[in-house]
């Protein structure tokens, strides 16, 4: 069997290279020979500029409308206005400073704690907390103020879940959720009024020297069996997580689809995919809430079980999204260089190529820990209505706030 060739910059994560080795994929220094183009960095200014017509990449254009906190907040707000009983899994949020007056009014009406996060923040950096009546000192950058949700507790500590969702293709839309992930646990118990009792970021909680890594970072596959012993229906939790992942992606898929049409259009097979990290909190009633979506979730690991999980998770994503041995064989078999026009004619006229890819992907789906959650027979009628309604929305969300043109054009934020 032909080994798939991969082209890309420096691999930031060891887990990625281990997954390539496990998939028997080989690094190619000649870009035109490679079918898969892989990026590990957070910002790729020219991800799609030089993408060749036969290549597949692990980045989706304009998916940052979901991973930027401000645009996600507006997508959720708009979707909830149309489907309030479905979009009830995102905490009440305000974009600052645009909605600063609305936020202050809402905050001061009750006794709730609010968390204020930079639009492009990560690793717990720049996060503020706000109580009723307190002064808010912001810089010129964009923030999102989000109502703080009290968590279900593990050993009297707050925790949340890092769930891996795979958008395997945009057109047709296919979404998978991995049946494992990371449980991120606060290093301080809930009775302590500290940063380490409120924020679950592993990078932040590692700074407390009195905690071992297993106390602040475990696998979902380690924690859910413990919850089951306590009478928790973890299968139901997974079903609810599947649903909110699908609804979150649907909230912005019409914008993402436009960019994909321009930058990586479908030619016999989908040409872009992405692994997203959903931060999901289980409240005191075990209801899942989406807190944010991560553009490139950390693929580092702190111990052996986490390494194995992440390598397998990436490997399974490659099996689903890049079953392209037949494409690689065709690419290398030609004695002269392919052009965009010659490949387009070949792909359109070669029905066998499409059939082989579909058969390889179908076979791969039977032996992975990803569960296909869209399309789903159970969700399809409702999701079709939601998709059609949201697709008809204009780019503007509310007066004074709109999706920047660079999102529509596929630029990275």
Nearest to 24 by CA among 328, 308, 261: 328
The arithmetic mean of pLDDT across residues 265-289, rounded, is: 95
Whether the pLDDT of residue 307 is over 50: the answer is yes
Residue 354 is predicted with a pLDDT of 84
Radius of gyration of the chain (CA): 22
- The C-alpha angle with vertex 244 and arms to 106 and 186, in degrees rounded to 5, equals 70
Whether the pLDDT of residue 207 is over 80: the answer is no
Residue 124 is predicted with a pLDDT of 61
The arithmetic mean of pLDDT across residues 180-200, rounded, is: 91
Whether the pLDDT of residue 279 is over 50: the answer is yes
Domains recognised in the chain with CATH numbers: 1-8+26-45+61-91+151-325+369-396 (3.30.470.20), 92-148 (3.30.1490)
Least confident of 15-29, 31-45, 318-332: 31-45
Residue 405 is predicted with a pLDDT of 44
The arithmetic mean of pLDDT across residues 157-179, rounded, is: 96
The arithmetic mean of pLDDT across residues 144-161, rounded, is: 95
Whether the pLDDT of residue 136 is over 90: the answer is no
pLDDT tens readout for residues 84-128: 999 999 999 999 998 999 999 999 998 999 999 988 766 667 788
Residue 310 is predicted with a pLDDT of 98
Task: Give burial (CB, 10 Å; 0-12/13-18/19+) of 135.
Answer: exposed
Residue 378 is predicted with a pLDDT of 66
Find tokens 């646990």 and name the residue: 185
Strand blocks (E) in 19-152: 26-27, 36-38, 56-57, 93-96, 114-118, 128-130, 143-147
Residue 194 is predicted with a pLDDT of 86
Instruction: Judge if pTM exceeds 0.85.
Output: yes
Least confident of 171-175, 284-288, 363-367: 363-367
Residue 400 is predicted with a pLDDT of 39
């Amino acid at each position: 069997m032909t080994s798939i060739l991969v082209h890309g910059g420096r691999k930031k994560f060891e887990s990625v290279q281990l997954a390539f080795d496990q998939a028997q994929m080989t690094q190619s220094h000649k870009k035109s020979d490679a079918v898969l183009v892989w990026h590990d960095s957070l910002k790729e200014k020219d991800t799609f500029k030089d993408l060749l017509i036969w290549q597949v990449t692990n980045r989706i254009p304009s998916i940052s409308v979901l991973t930027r906190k401000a645009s996600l907040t507006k997508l959720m707000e708009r979707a909830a206005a149309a489907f309030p009983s479905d979009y009830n899994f995102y905490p009440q949020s305000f974009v600052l400073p645009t909605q600063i007056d609305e936020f202050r009014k809402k905050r001061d009406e009750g006794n709730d704690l609010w968390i204020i996060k930079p639009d492009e923040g990560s690793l717990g950096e720049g996060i503020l907390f706000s109580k009723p009546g307190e002064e808010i000192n912001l810089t010129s950058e964009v923030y999102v103020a989000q109502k703080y949700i009290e968590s279900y507790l593990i050993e009297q500590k707050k925790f949340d879940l890092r769930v891996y969702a795979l958008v395997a293709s945009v057109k047709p839309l296919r979404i998978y959720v991995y049946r494992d992930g990371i449980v991120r646990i606060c290093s301080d118990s809930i009775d302590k009024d500290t940063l380490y009792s409120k924020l679950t970021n592993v990078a932040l909680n590692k700074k407390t020297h009195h905690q071992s890594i297993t106390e602040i970072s475990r696998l979902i596959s380690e924690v859910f069996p413990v919850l089951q012993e306590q009478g928790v229906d973890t299968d139901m939790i997974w079903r609810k997580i599947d649903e909110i992942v699908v609804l979150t992606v649907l909230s912005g898929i019409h914008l993402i689809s436009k960019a994909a049409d321009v930058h990586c259009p479908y030619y016999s097979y989908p040409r872009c995919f992405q692994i997203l990290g959903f931060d999901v909190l289980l409240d005191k009633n075990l209801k899942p809430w989406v807190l944010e979506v991560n553009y490139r979730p950390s693929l580092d690991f702190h111990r052996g079980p986490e390494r194995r999980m992440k390598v397998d998770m990436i490997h399974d994503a490659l099996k689903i999204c890049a079953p392209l041995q037949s494409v690689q064989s065709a690419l290398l078999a030609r004695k002269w260089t392919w052009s965009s026009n010659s490949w387009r004619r070949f792909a359109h006229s070669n029905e066998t190529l499409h059939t082989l890819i579909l058969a390889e992907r179908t076979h791969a789906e039977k032996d992975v820990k990803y569960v296909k959650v869209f399309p789903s027979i159970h969700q399809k009628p409702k999701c079709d209505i939601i998709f059609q309604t949201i697709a008809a929305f204009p780019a503007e969300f509310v007066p004074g706030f709109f999706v920047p043109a660079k999102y529509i054009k596929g630029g990275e934020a």
